[in-house]
Each structure stands twice: as C-alpha cells, then as structure tokens.
Amino acid sequence: MVILRPTVLFRIFVWVLVATHLGPSPGMAREAPGVVAAKLQSFVELQLPPGDGPHPLVVLNPGCLGWHPHHQQWRAKLIKKGFAVVLVDSFAARGLTTRTQLENVCSGASIPGSQRAGDLMAVLPNIWSRPDIQPDKTVMMGWSHGGWTAMDFLIMAANKILPPNLSSMPPINVNNISAAFLFYPHCGFGSLSGEQGFPASVVVRVYHGTADRITSPSACRARVDALASSGANIRFFPQRDAGHWFDNFAERQTYNRSVAARVESLIDQELERLER
C-alpha cells in the first residue's frame, strides 16, 4: 500500500503545475492503433459477470498512482450488477513502477491523459466487437489523472482529434459511451477543454471536493458550466470540505466516509436510470 505522506502529496501537486507547461511526452512515438493494441494486450484486464451476455461495459481509469482498493471495490460491485469491467494499465504496459509513477506520471513528466485516452481508443474496438459485450452501453469512470483521461477521450472521439501516441484514428463511435462518472479530474492546462465540441449524448457527472488542493475544483466547475451552457449533459457535484482521494478508504489522511457514500449513492441512481 502506498502511504500518502505530505511529501507525496506535494509531488502529486507538482503534477498540476508541471502539466501546465507540457505538451506530449518527450520522445512519444506515434504508432498504428493495431500496434498499440497488440502492445497493450497483456495489460488489458476484462472481467465478466455470470451469463452469456451481451453485457454492458464499464471502463475503469484509476489515477496516476494506479490501482487501489476502492477501485477493486467498484469493480466487484459493478460485476455484481451485471456489468463487464475493463482496466487498461497504461503504466504497467510501459514498465512503470509505483516510484516511477509518482515521479513521472504524477509530476506530469510522462503519460498525459491524452496518451492514456489513445490507449483506450486502440483497445476498445476489439472489446466492443466481442459477442458478450453490448458496446452501446459503455460507461467510463475516472479518478484524477483517470478523469483527465476519460474527458480527453470523449472530446477527442467526438471531434476526431488524433491522440498523441496514435498515427491514425481508430473506428471509435463516441455514441457507445452512455455515461462518464469522474472523481476529482484534472481540468487545468494540458487537458482538453471541449471547446471544439462535446458529445451531447453522454451523461457526464463530476464529483469534486471543495477542499481539494491537488486538482482544482474551481477549474472543473468552470469547465462543466461552460460545457453545460453549450448543450452538454454534464453536471458538477461539489463535495463540501472533501479533499483529493476522498473515496480511498485505504488512506486515512484523505478518506471521507460520508462523502464517499453520498457519491456512490449518486452514481447508483445514475446507473439505475441508464438501465431502464
């Protein structure tokens, strides 16, 4: 387990500052989507619920520190609800350890959200083609850096913007995404604003603590308000006095039980509406 000490919190905060000044990672090569998908094959974890399907799909996008117990809890819950759940581990695929994730990903020096979004674009067509998956019932969930990833994915897919790691655009139908639930995403410089256009068919809900000092709730609220005024089905849910990682029950410094339970209930309600 990673212990989130103040020095680590500072390193994660540096990610927001450094990402302001970074474009694509130095030396990032563009490759054909099929090549990227092949390289990621061993790092794609798809778990299915009982039954033949086809099953609705949830794409989980953890933050820059990777997989944690609260992600596992969500996966187990979603599978019990009848969803297939997929994780694309962009970090492990590039040989990144937890220390490297902290120093390079959380600092903004490598693997921006747009690159992880490119990984998803390369992988999802193969998953959507499976007979046991219902592609037009796909939900995205993202935490922090993973929320950045999910937002960039939606914007790039809707506007046919080429991700920085792909040489051509994969056959992505953004209308397959029915909803996106984002926990405290990065909405600052280096992430896409959606000014080019945002998929109106996707229900997007953003849950952000008002006391977050790692990613800016005010920046995310401003973005959500701008997108909503342009017709996007997007809402911002401020969580009073909650900080970053408010839902990580394995980290006592940040966990807020009541806020985590409230957000989980809100997402459950949205999932029930989508299932009707």
Write down the H helix ranges in 41-187: 69-80, 90-93, 98-100, 113-128, 145-159
Does 111 have pLDDT greater than 70? Answer: yes
Q: Which of 24-33, 144-153, 195-204, 260-269 has the lowest mean pLDDT?
A: 24-33
- pLDDT (mean) for 32-58: 98
pLDDT over 70 for what percent of the chain?
Answer: 90
Alpha-carbon distance of 227 to 233, in angstroms, equals: 8
- Residue 28: predicted pLDDT: 76
* DSSP annotation string for 194-237: STT---TTSEEEEEEETT-SSS-HHHHHHHHHHHHHTT--EEEE
pLDDT band at 98; cut points 50, 70, 90: confident
- Residue 97: predicted pLDDT: 77
- pLDDT (mean) for 244-254: 97
By residue count, the chain amounts to 276
* Token pair in block for residue 75: 């996966």
pLDDT band at 27; cut points 50, 70, 90: low
More confident residue, 11 or 266: 266
Digit-coded pLDDT (tens) for 47-87: 999 999 999 999 999 999 999 999 999 999 999 999 999 99
- Residue 208: predicted pLDDT: 99
* Token pair in block for residue 45: 């974890």
- Give phi and psi for 111, each to the nearest 5: 55, 70
Q: Buried b vs exposed e over 74-104: b needs ≥16 C-beta within 10 Å?
A: bbeebbeeebbbbbbbbbebbebeeebbbeb
Average pLDDT score, the chain: 91
* Token pair in block for residue 81: 């609800």
Q: What domains sit in the chain, N to C, each tagged with a CATH number? A: 24-275 (3.40.50.1820)
* Token pair in block for residue 126: 């193969």
- Classified as helix, coil or strand, 198 is coil
- pLDDT (mean) for 13-32: 56
- pLDDT (mean) for 103-118: 90
pTM of the model: 0.90
Alpha-carbon distance of 161 to 115, in angstroms, equals: 12
| Cα separation values, 147 from 26, 72, 127, Å | 22, 17, 21
Alpha-carbon distance of 87 to 19, in angstroms, equals: 24
- Classified as helix, coil or strand, 182 is strand
Does 2 have pLDDT greater than 90? Answer: no
